[in-house]
Copies of this chain bind each other. A is one copy, B any other.
Amino acid sequence: MPHVLSGRAETPTQSRILSYVRDDGPLSRMELASRLNVSRTTVAAEVGRLVELGLAEDGGPAASRGGRRSSLVDLDAGLRFIGVELGATSMRVAMTDGRLSVLSRATPQRSDIRRGPETVLAEAIVQIRKLLADSGVERPAGIGIGVPGPVDFQAGVPVSPPIMPGWDGYPVRDALSREFGSPVLLDNDVNVMALGEQHNGVARSASDFLFVKIGTGIGCGIVVGRHLYRGADGCAGDIGHIRLDPTGPVCACGNHGCLEAFFGGAALAREAMAAARSGKSATFAGLLAEHGSLTAEHVGAAVAQGDAVALGLVRDGGRRVGSVLANLVSFFNPGLIVIGGGVSGLGHSLLAEVRSVIYRQSLPLATGNLPVVLSELGGDAGVIGAARLISDAVYAAG
C-alpha cells in the first residue's frame, strides 16, 4: 500500500539496513543484527521506525535455520521513486519501486528544452501525475531529475546552461518539491546516466569510470571511487567543448572546432542534409523526401541500410570522439568507459572506431585492462540514475 507520508532514514543504522535490503533483497532480522553487529532488539527498534517512516515492511517469515524463527525485513512495497531525464529535445519520465526497478514509463516525448522552465516543467509534472495516478500513488518518496546543462547541485538550479535559455538559476528542485511535497534532487543529465549505469548497468562493479553521452550534445559523467565527481563549479565532464581544430566549424559555445561542432546531433543532421542535397547519398535523399528534414537519428537509419556516406560520418565522428577519449584516458586512467546517448544507437560501427583510436593512441598501461563498451540500459539509463540519485538521499541518514 502506498503511504501518504514517507520520510527519510534518521540514523546510520537505518540507512545501512535500507542499503543492505535494497542491494541484497529481503533479509532476516537475525542476518541484519549479525551484519550490523548490534542486538536483535536494536534491529527491531530501527526496523520499527523504518516501517513508521514508510520505508520498510515485514517481508514474511525467514527460512528456518533450526533456531527461533526470524522474520524478513524488506523495503516498503509501496515505495515509489520518480526519475526524469530532460534532454535537449526529449523528455523521459519513469516510476520505480524502492529497488529502482522501473515499474512504468511515460511515453517518451519530444520536448524542446528551449521553451523554458515553466513550459517544460509543467509538461513533466503532467507526465509524473499521470504515472502516479495510473498506479494509485499519492506521493512519491522522491524525485530525481537530470537536465542537459551544468547544475549547482547544492542549490538545485541550472547554472549558465548554454542550450537552455531561461533556465539559468531557475529553482527546478524547489519548484518540483513544492508541487509534489516530496524530496527532489537536480543534476546534469550525463551525471544521472552514469549513476544509472552504476546502479543497474554495465558499470555495476566499476569504481572509477567515465560515462560518455553522445546525443544532441556530447558530455561525460565522471565517477571517482563510486561517487560522482562534479568539479569545482559543477561543470566537470563538459567534453563536447574540447577543441579538436581551431579552424573547424563554429560551435554553439562560440569557439571553433569543438568536438560537438563536428559530431553533435546538429552537426550530424547538417552533414546528412548536405549529403542528401548534393546527391552523394541516395539513402539520405530518400529519407529527406520522406520526412522533410533529417536528424541524427536518420544517420542511424542510413547506416542500418548500409549507406556509405552515413557510415563515413559515423567513422569520422568515432575517430574524433576516440581521439578526445584517448587523451582523457592518459589523464584519468579510468577502469571502464561506457558510451551511451542517442547517437550511440549508431552502435558497433561507432564503438569499433572509438576503440581503435583509444587503443592505438593511449599509453598501453592505461588501456591494458580498459573495457570500452556500449550502455546496457539504453534509454532507461537517465531515469534509473535520476531515481537512484534521490533514493540515495532518502535512504541516507539525516
Beyond A235-B333, A235-B365, A236-B332, list 18 extra A-B contacts (CB 8 Å).
A160-B364, A208-B229, A208-B232, A222-B331, A224-B224, A231-B366, A232-B334, A233-B365, A233-B366, A233-B368, A233-B369, A238-B333, A238-B363, A241-B330, A243-B327, A255-B361, A328-B331, A331-B331
Query: What is the CA–CA distance of A234 and B366 in the complex, to the nearest angstrom?
Result: 8
Query: What is the CA–CA distance of A332 and B210 in the complex, to the nearest angstrom?
Result: 12
User: Taking chain A's interface residues, is the majority helix, strand, or loop, or is none over half, making it mixed?
Assistant: loop
Q: Known interface pairs A242-B327, A243-B327. Does A334 touch B231 (Cβ–Cβ under 8 Å)?
A: yes
Query: What is the CA–CA distance of A238 and B331 in the complex, to the nearest angstrom?
Result: 5
Q: What string of 1s and 0s marks CB contacts (under 8 Å) between A201-239 and chain B?
A: 000000110000000000010101100011111111111
Beta-carbon nearest neighbor of A161 in chain B? B365
Q: What is the total number of residues of chain A having a CB less than 8 Å from a CB of chain B?
A: 45
Instruction: Report if A159 contacts B (CB, 8 A).
Output: yes
Query: What is the CA–CA distance of A231 and B370 in the complex, to the nearest angstrom?
Result: 11
* Shortest distance between the CB of A190 and any CB in chain B (Å): 12
Instruction: Report if A326 contacts B (CB, 8 A).
Output: yes
The reply to whether B333 and A243 contact each other, CB–CB distance below 8 Å, is no
Instruction: Report if A98 contacts B (CB, 8 A).
Output: no
Query: What is the CA–CA distance of A335 and B229 in the complex, to the nearest angstrom?
Result: 13
Query: What is the CA–CA distance of A328 and B364 in the complex, to the nearest angstrom?
Result: 21
Which B residues touch A335, using CB under 8 A?
Answer: 232
Q: Known interface pairs A220-B331, A330-B238. Does A208 touch B233 (Cβ–Cβ under 8 Å)?
A: no
Which residues in A have some Cβ–Cβ distance to B below 8 Å?
150, 159-160, 207-208, 220, 222, 224-225, 229-239, 241-243, 253, 255, 323-324, 326-328, 330-335, 361-366, 368-370
Q: Known interface pairs A224-B224, A232-B370. Does A363 touch B331 (Cβ–Cβ under 8 Å)?
A: no
Which B residues touch A255, using CB under 8 A?
Answer: 361
Which B residues touch A323, using CB under 8 A?
Answer: 243
Query: What is the CA–CA distance of A361 and B257 in the complex, to the nearest angstrom?
Result: 11
The reply to whether A242 and B365 contact each other, CB–CB distance below 8 Å, is no
Query: What is the CA–CA distance of A224 and B208 in the complex, to the nearest angstrom?
Result: 12
